[in-house]
Amino acid sequence: MLARLGSLVLCAFQLGLAFTIASPRPLVLWHGLGDSHASRGMLDFQDLIKEVHPGIFIHSVWVHEDANKDRDAGFYGNVDVQLDVVFRQLSSVPELEHGFDAIGFSQGESSGMFLRAYVERYNYPRTYNLITFGSQHLGIADIPECGTYDFLCKSARRIILSAVYGKWAQENLIQASFSRTMAHQTDVQSKAQYFRDPTRYNDYLVANMFLTDINNEIPGQRNATYQENLKSLENLVLIIFSEDKTVIPKESAWFGYDEITDDAVIVPMRQQPIYTEDWIGLKELDETGRIVFGVCEGEHMQLNGCWREYVERYVGSVV
């Protein structure tokens, strides 16, 4: 009798174990500028993912737990400080301790970049599949369009384009944090982190602190850890929006970019120095078939269900 009870307990234990083992790998979502970790859109998206992968644990990254402050952080925060907050957050969530898949998902375009920075700089707990939607991996060469007759917009845009390195560089080199009183400059600042003028490439190399760093773009300052960490991904899934007018050029989502000094030509990833000289591990990822080039038809972040096939394939593997 006792023996039978014992085997019943053992059986229940094994079932429990089997259940724990056979659950989908957790997912980390990161929203971007102008959204928050608890917005309607983020919550709806989580529900849809849970339909695809029942029982999946999803952690939506926050920089401030208060949803309103969280939205502001996208605009006002210093990226390096935010990344550190997020690293400590992810490493303190017990469900994530064995690793996760990650999606940069947002109306803005930075979350994929932040997640890539997390992988390169920390990756503890580790990331398996990283999916980025319409990210500006090699930067943006232009600030999105103004209407044809919107002259106010056009002059503002011209000012932004001419001031971007000077002001932004000074503020960042002298003091590494953005002030809330500079709210009117936030758009410049948020764009400036990714602005990589092909006709003023040297100014960019000197002034830009974030993109040059995570792309290991500056000779003599390349960090081998970034490369090791990125290469440890199972898959790097890069999704482009076919009609993207927010990320210019849209090919930045695939690590393509305007040719430096000749912005009429788009140079694809495999011909970019970041790849040919393998600054961050893209070459090895690609040669082992671990870079996935995905397309969503339409404008920036018009997902229209096209996320589904990537979430089915690269999220929530049973582990």
Ligand X SMILES: *[C@@H]1O[C@H](CO)[C@@H](O)[C@H](O)[C@H]1NC(C)=O
Site residues, ligand X (CB under 6 A) = 121, 223, 225
Give least dist CB 123 to ligand X, A: 9
Give least dist CB 308 to ligand X, A: 34
Nearer to ligand X, 177 or 225 (CB): 225
Nearer to ligand X, 46 or 223 (CB): 223
**Catalytic residue selected from 31, 37, 137, 300:** 300
**Catalytic residue selected from 39, 60, 106, 190:** 106
Phi, psi of 28 (to 5 degrees): -110, 130
Nearer to ligand X, 118 or 133 (CB): 118
- Known catalytic membership, residue 300: yes
- Known catalytic membership, residue 59: no
Give least dist CB 89 to ligand X, A: 17
Nearer to ligand X, 101 or 213 (CB): 213
What is the residue-wise DSSP string for 70-121?
Answer: HHHHHHHS-HHHHHHHHHHHHTT-GGGTT-EEEEE--SSS-HHHHHHHHHHH
Give least dist CB 223 to ligand X, A: 4
Write the single-letter amino acid at 20: T
Give CA–CA dist 61/54, Å, rounded.
Answer: 20
- Known catalytic membership, residue 244: yes
**Catalytic residue selected from 35, 197, 213, 244:** 244
Determine if the peptide bond prior to 268 is cis (ω within 30°): no
Q: Would you say 191 and 161 are in contact if contact means Cβ atoms under 8 Å apart? A: no
> Structure tokens of 75?
């605009």
Sign of CA pseudo-dihedral 99, 127, 69, 304: negative
Catalytic residues: 106, 244, 300
